[in-house]
Amino acid sequence: MAFMGVIVNGICILLGTLFGLFFTKIPDRIKDTIMHGIGLTVLLIGFSMALTSDRIIVILLSLVTGAIIGEGIDLDEKLNRLGSHIEIKFKKPGKQSRIAEGFVTASLIFVIGAMAVVGALDSGLRGDHGILYTKSIIDGFVALVLTTTMGFGVVFSAVPVILYEGGIALFATQIDQWIPQSILDLFIEDMTSTGGLLIFAIGLNLLKITDIKVANLLPSLVTVGFVLYIYTQVQHVFS
């Protein structure tokens, strides 16, 4: 079953959020320190992923073209508007809520990254769910920790995760008919590196060092494939 890993990933995010709700009453100073720890960890993950590829020009052009597309359709605003809509539906009257922030932050952390893409590709291509099972455990713990500081808005991130990974898994069932394995391997390297920079940006935002509109850079995870194709064709011409 191509979607088994995807389903397990969604369930683990749900369970992590439910367990995290038991710890939402901890003092704010502890929550702040926990959030700093999350931010630093996200920085480390992003930095290590960003070093996967040495094709800097491909990464740069992917981010530039992705930013142009993302700003053109303003993905950040749309994602935050969706989060605000969810918050209005579930917010308790008279109480402060971080439902929108929890949804947006968790969605970006869980969706961006090599494990989501590579795991979904493995599920669709080979029916191997090992990577997604591992990611599910990690996401469950991250959901638990995020919920302690941002509340149950984190649980709604399971929806984009399932749609994103499910779409990749479905596409992967046919991908080997169109894309040679050698090109696919290069794509995974460059996509991982590009995604790593986006995750690094999320870490900076969590630490309140920057306010980067990471969602508006998401199209770069798609444009990296087109940029890589052009790059390999140019290399072939001049080699």
Q: Which domain holds residue 148?
A: 4-232
pLDDT at 28: 79
Burial class (CB in 10 A: 0-12, 13-18, 19+), 156: buried
3-state SS class at 36: helix
Number of domains into which the chain is organized: 1
pLDDT at 114: 67
How far is 83 from 77, CA to CA, in rounded Å?
Answer: 10
| Residue 238 in domain | no
Q: Do the beta carbons of residue 32 and residue 158 sit within 8 Å? A: no
What is the full per-residue pLDDT of the chain (239 aa) written as tens digits? Answer: 778 999 999 999 999 999 998 887 778 788 788 878 888 888 988 898 899 899 999 999 999 999 999 999 998 888 888 888 877 777 666 566 678 888 888 888 888 766 787 788 888 877 888 888 988 988 898 898 889 888 888 999 999 999 989 988 888 777 767 777 788 889 888 988 888 898 899 889 889 899 899 889 989 988 998 999 999 999 888 87
Using CA atoms of 120, 125, 130, 132 in order, give the dihedral in degrees to the nearest 10. 10
Q: CA distances (Å), 167 to each of 82, 146, 160, 162, 164, in order? A: 20, 26, 10, 8, 5
DSSP state, 91?
A: P
pLDDT at 159: 92
- What does the block give as tokens for 18? 């439910």
Helix axes 181-206, 114-126, angle to 10 degrees: 150
Output the pTM of the full model: 0.80
Residue 233's contacts (CB-CB under 8 Å, 6 or more residues apart) are none
Nearest to 159 by CA among 11, 2, 22: 11
- What does the block give as tokens for 189? 């390297």
| Residue 206 in domain | yes
Residue 37 CB: number of other CB atoms within 10 A? 12
| Residue 141 in domain | yes
